[in-house]
């Protein structure tokens, strides 16, 4: 999927890692579903605009959250 910067309409650089400074854990997005084993989680990635520096977070597994 092609990502365009919301600020300046430049093609963004995708698939950048997201880490928390000083911790090895990173960030995880999760949603608790109904039942014991129905939770969904994903690690976010970042897209960065090489023109203005705007950063957008996204996940590849977004369809899993709508179930």
CA angle 46–51–55, rounded 5-degree value:
20
Burial of residue 66 (CB within 10 Å: 0-12, 13-18, 19+) is exposed
| pLDDT tens, residue by residue, 5-52 | 999 999 999 999 887 887 667 788 888 876 666 788 888 899 999 999
Q: Is 46 in contact with 18 (CB distance < 8 Å)?
A: yes
Tell me, yes or no, if the pTM score tops 0.75.
no
Identify the pLDDT of residue 35: 66
pLDDT of residue 37: 65
How many whole angstroms separate alpha carbon 2 and alpha carbon 11?
7
């Amino acid at each position: 999927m092609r990502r365009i910067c919301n600020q300046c309409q430049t093609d963004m650089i995708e698939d950048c890692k997201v880490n928390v400074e000083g911790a090895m854990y990173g960030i995880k997005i999760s949603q608790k579903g109904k039942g014991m084993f129905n939770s969904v989680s994903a690690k976010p990635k970042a897209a960065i605009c090489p023109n203005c520096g705007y950063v957008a977070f996204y996940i590849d597994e977004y369809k899993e959250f709508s179930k």
